[in-house]
Amino acid sequence: MGAGHAHRLHVPGDTIVHRMAPEAKIVAAFAFVLAVAVTPRRAVWVFVLHGLLLACWIARAGLRPSLVVKRLAVIAPFVTFAFFLPFLAGGATTEVLGVSLSTEGLWGTWNVLTKSVLGATTSIVLASTTPVADIVRGLERLRVPALVTSVISFMFRYLDLITADLGRMRTAMVARGHDARWLWQVKPIASSAGAMFVRSYERGERVHAAMLARGFDGTMPTLDDRRASPAEWRMAAIVPMLAAVAALGGLLT
């Protein structure tokens, strides 16, 4: 099933992580992130363990660390604000390089930074080793409502088409000398967004008609009856179990 639409995120491979049943992988990733989230921020050694476990996953999946780091850039805007915490929070202060910073604030920054890096890296591993089609299938097998899985699946199917549409509209605007640099030049962009919405809506209607024509009755058929084997579940459970034990250790100490 290597022909999904996540061609930009999915890194083809034939490793143990790639082959793992998607539903097991989704649950494992979710459980691992949960373990990270409940880890107390002062239990630094637990975060080190979490990081090592995640590094094992990355290594077994054969992902280049540089690729993972590059993709981590998406969280940059979200964690930026965390760097303001030591300046804004009150309480006891610590001298760092001659600047007086809030101790609480520093722990806050550490907490946000480590948890978001670990969480984002987990989803990078999941997305890099599982085509979107398989993720959707995994969610279906986990009994996520068909409405939700269909929305995800359609979004990925048509995202490329809509982006291409938008690209063509932009090219057509540029070809007629449009060069938006200032706020008052935003009108053509706003109206193209409107046109885009109408076009996508109309396409939605046509797709629905085409589905009805092939006997669609409102429920998406299940096309794949395979399930993760108990062995696969056990394999997938190893990392989140270890992380949970570590988190528990952190909570108790």
The residues binding other proteins (CB under 8 A) are 1-5, 7, 131-133, 136, 153-154, 156-158, 160-161, 203, 206-207, 209-217, 221-223, 225
Half-sphere exposure of 157 (CA within 13 A, CB side): 12
Contact between 22 and 149 under an 8 Å Cβ cutoff? The reply is no
CA 132, CA 192: separation in Å to the nearest integer? 29
Q: Which is nearer to other proteins, 77 or 215 (CB)?
A: 215
Give residue 197's Cα distance to chain centre. Answer: 25
CA atoms of 10 and 7, how far apart (whole Å): 5
Residue 7 DSSP code:
T
Q: How far is the CB of 6 from other proteins (least distance, A)?
A: 10
- 105: number of Cβ within 10 Å: 21
Least distance from other proteins to the Cβ atom of residue 76, Å: 30
d(Cα 205, Cα 199) in Å, to the nearest integer? 10
Beta carbon nearer to other proteins, 102 or 130: 130
The residue (of 96 and 211) whose beta carbon lies closer to other proteins is: 211
Q: For residue 214, report the phi and psi dihedrals to the nearest 5 degrees.
A: -105, 25
Minimum CB separation of residue 129 from other proteins in Å reads 17
The rounded distance, in Å, linking the Cα atoms of 122 and 54 is 7
Rank residues 41 and 157 by Cβ distance to other proteins and give the closer one.
157
Nearest residue to 63 (alpha-carbon basis) of 128, 131, 140: 128
Closest CA to 48 of 93, 100, 114: 114
**Cβ-based nearer residue to other proteins, 104 or 165:** 165
Cβ closest to other proteins, residue 181 vs residue 206: 206
In the complex, least distance from residue 159 CB atom to other proteins, rounded to whole angstroms: 10
For the bound state, the minimum distance from the C-beta of residue 194 to other proteins, rounded and expressed in Å, comes to 21
Reduced to 3 states (helix: H, G, I; strand: E, B; else coil), residue 95 is strand
Q: How far is the CB of 212 from other proteins (least distance, A)?
A: 6
